[in-house]
Amino acid sequence: MSIRRIFAVAKRIIRQFIHDRRTVALIVIVPLLVLSILGALLKTTPSYEVGFVNQDEGVTTPLSTQKISSAIEESLKDTENLKWHKINLEKAKSDLEDGTLDAYVLLGKSFSKDISERKSPLVIVKLEGSDPNASQQVLGLVNQNLLSSFSDQKLVDLKVDYLYGGEKFTSLDYFAPVFIAFFAFFFVIMLTSVSFLRERSQGTFERLFASPVNNAEIVGGYFLGFSIFALIQSLIVLLYTIYVLDVHFLGSLWFVFLIELILVVGAVNLGIFLSAFARNELQVVQFLPVIIVPQALISGFIFPIKSMPVILQWLSYAMPLTYANNALRDIMIKGKDLASVSFDIYILIAFAFLMILLAAFSIRKGI
Amino acid sequence: MENIIEVEGLNKKFPPDIHALSELTLQVKKGITFGLLGPNGSGKTTLIRILVGILKPDSGKVAIIDDSLSWSEKAAKIGYMTQTHALYQDLTLAENLDFFAAIYGLSAREKRKRIEELISLVKLEGKEKSPVATLSGGMRQRVSLAASLIHEPQLLFLDEPTVGIDPSLRREFWAYFGSLNRQGVSIVLSTHVMDEAARCDELALLRNGKLLAQGKIEELLAQTRSKNLEEAFLSLEENG
């Protein structure tokens, strides 16, 4: 064993790294970027919006009408992670449906009467329900905040109801839709960028560009080829999650495929665009953590967007996976139709067009 | 036109300050094998890449095949064998040829016929189902030539076509180029090997992106009073 030779090998590796400045920069930037995002996300405590609907008609005595619920209503205080909104039932229902509220608490008409008669008053907690973790946390916070204002907590019969999902919903139900989008997005970007780079480095592009084929035909062919595999992958992931992992699925398979197709158009073209800035496969792979990790962290994949710091919320709204996740969750968990997720679809189409433009301008770069 | 290629005052620079081609003017007659002779970096590949439409010149005129045709119509008549093998390594020999045939719009029947003819021409019978990655360098060179001939082009550009193939096959390639010329196909090939250049009908001698001379070999030898091409090249270089 020669120390001199070991040093020679090490010196060569260091020199190669120094020549590849992008790799050196990424080694430093990627961990700092990921740590900054994670730090910001984990430091933030989630905040929930809860409606308070008081339908209590009070109890009438010969002297006056008394509302026991008024005292409870006045005692409700906003905390760091729970904000109360005193509203009527109609507004509560619509706010819960459009995601403005995470839950609402309903005190029934006979609330005061029941308490005065030492009967259990009707108190309903209606949860949005699509995220089981959030549901549990909201329920815990509501219990803590609301029940503390009751003098006799044992008397209260809290009835929990769900807009979507239910008690049997698990975290897997919540994550399954985003896995479908994530896998397709990630693999299509990776495969397209590597395939395109190979076309450039192996000279096949040179041969192709001397033939009658044009940029649109190449991009169209790539999209068609990769979307077939992305859809097969989605179908396998979907069937596996539904039938093996027993995930709840309420929506239409065709809607899922449509969202997937639009996402794949964007991903194929993003892959083409990225390949123009890499000289070898290692450099292409280096792009992936920069593109994929932030999207996985702040696209609503794991952490709810509305609980994130404002700057991360803005960043998440600039990311295509945010809209794909949202649309797929709405379709798969909430059973919504395409019209209900039209905004997400338009944004995904806009992203796909932007990527097509970028790919068209970069496709011949370096040829 | 009598000439299949006419180039006038062609200039091409690459950053930061590389003059790949400087005021290059030349003509290539129809139906001949035209050689671009010069050392590495003399501008041969840059000129070919401009002629096949991959690169745009900074200035100068290029007339190729027939000016009344659109670029895609011209491209359909051009065959291009690049310096690298330019093949899909994970596809088989037949799959590679099938792909390039489809790009040029050959029907299924034409494809089958041409693939069979070309595999026989490049003597790779029995290797149809072999992935290109498993073939030797010389075999890949032959597949690359077959791919550039798949659509029976009228004008064939060959960038260093006989590198890595054995002498007997090289002789067969040259015989085949001759038969293509007789069928009216024009060939432009680049080489830095003098004895290969000597087989061409006409030559352009290039150095540092400039044309030193153009003409038939006997004209170039007479012009420089040289016994062979190497001497002629050196003489032109000294006087150029």
Whole-number pLDDT of residue A295? 87
Whole-number pLDDT of residue B117? 93
**Inter-chain residue contact B100 with A207, CB threshold 8 Å:** yes
Which two three-digit tokens encode residue A203?
């000279």
Assess if residue A2 is contained within a domain: no
Whole-number pLDDT of residue A153? 57
- A365 in contact with B, Cβ within 8 Å: no
Output the CA–CA distances (angstroms, integers) from residue B152 to A2, A88, A131, A215, B104, in the order listed: 59, 79, 63, 23, 10
Assess if residue A347 is contained within a domain: yes
> Quick check: B51 and B64 in contact, CB under 8 A?
yes
Instruction: Report how far residue A264's alpha carbon sits from residue A224's, in angstroms, rounded to the nearest whole number.
Output: 10
Q: Which domains does chain B have, with CATH numbers?
A: 3-77+155-239 (3.40.50.300), 87-152 (no CATH)
- B33 in contact with A, Cβ within 8 Å: no
Q: What is the per-residue DSSP string for B152-180?
A: --SEEEEESTTTT--HHHHHHHHHHHHHH
With a CB cutoff of 8 Å and minimum separation 6, the contacts of A180 are A234, A237, A238, A241, A256, A260, A328
Task: Find, in chain A, the residue whose alpha carbon is nearest to that of B103.
Answer: A213
Domain's final residue, options A162, A180, A210: A162
- pLDDT one-digit tens code per residue, B69-101: 998 899 999 999 998 889 999 999 999 999 999
Output the CA–CA distances (angstroms, integers) from residue B184 to A119, A210, B33, in the order listed: 104, 21, 11
Residue A66: give the domain boundaries. Answer: 48-162
CATH for A55 = 3.40.1710.10
Which chain A residues have a beta carbon less than 8 Å from that of B54?
206, 209-210, 367
Whole-number pLDDT of residue B17? 86
Whole-number pLDDT of residue B109? 94
With a CB cutoff of 8 Å and minimum separation 6, the contacts of B178 are B33
- A211 in contact with B, Cβ within 8 Å: yes
Span B12-26, mean pLDDT? 91
Same domain, A180 and A121: no
Which two three-digit tokens encode residue A197?
């780079």
Q: How far is B228 from chain A (nearest CA, A)?
A: 34
- A213 in contact with B, Cβ within 8 Å: yes
- pLDDT one-digit tens code per residue, B56-65: 999 999 999 9
Residue with tokens 């060569």, as numbered in its chain? A12
Which chain A residues have a beta carbon less than 8 Å from that of B105?
212
Assess if residue A16 is contained within a domain: no
Whole-number pLDDT of residue A58? 83
What tens-digit pLDDT sequence spans chain A (367 residues)? 889 999 999 999 999 888 888 888 888 888 898 899 888 888 888 889 999 998 888 888 777 778 878 888 888 888 888 899 999 999 999 999 888 899 999 988 888 888 888 788 878 999 998 888 888 888 888 888 777 766 665 667 778 899 988 888 888 888 888 888 888 888 889 888 998 888 888 889 999 999 999 888 988 888 888 888 888 888 888 888 888 888 888 888 889 889 988 999 999 899 989 888 888 888 888 888 888 888 888 888 888 888 888 899 999 999 999 999 999 999 988 889 999 999 999 999 999 999 999 988 888 766 6
- The three-class DSSP label of residue B8 is strand
Output the CA–CA distances (angstroms, integers) from residue A293 to A22, A193, A259, A289, in the order listed: 18, 17, 21, 5
Closest CA to B158 of B87, B71, B82: B82
Output the CA–CA distances (angstroms, integers) from residue B209 to A3, A79, A327, B71, in the order listed: 48, 76, 57, 25
Assess if residue A182 is contained within a domain: yes
Instruction: Choose from B56, B82, B149, B150 for mutation: most chain A CBs within 10 A.
Output: B82
Q: Which of A203, A206, A212 sits opposite B72 (nearest CB)?
A: A212
Radius of gyration for the alpha carbons in chain A, expressed in angstroms and rounded: 27
What's the complex ipTM?
Answer: 0.88
Whole-number pLDDT of residue A94? 93
Question: Among the ranges A272-281, B145-154, B187-196, B225-234, which has the highest mean pLDDT value?
Answer: B145-154
Domain's final residue, options A162, A180, A206: A162
Task: Find, in chain B, the residue whose alpha carbon is nearest to that of A200.
Answer: B86
Domain's final residue, options A162, A186, A208: A162
Which two three-digit tokens encode residue B164?
């890595």
Q: Which of B89, B104, B148 sits opposite A212 (nearest CB)?
A: B104
Q: How many domains does chain A have?
A: 2
With a CB cutoff of 8 Å and minimum separation 6, the contacts of A90 are none
Whole-number pLDDT of residue B108? 93
Whole-number pLDDT of residue A57? 86
**Inter-chain residue contact B52 with A202, CB threshold 8 Å:** no
Span B30-59, mean pLDDT? 93
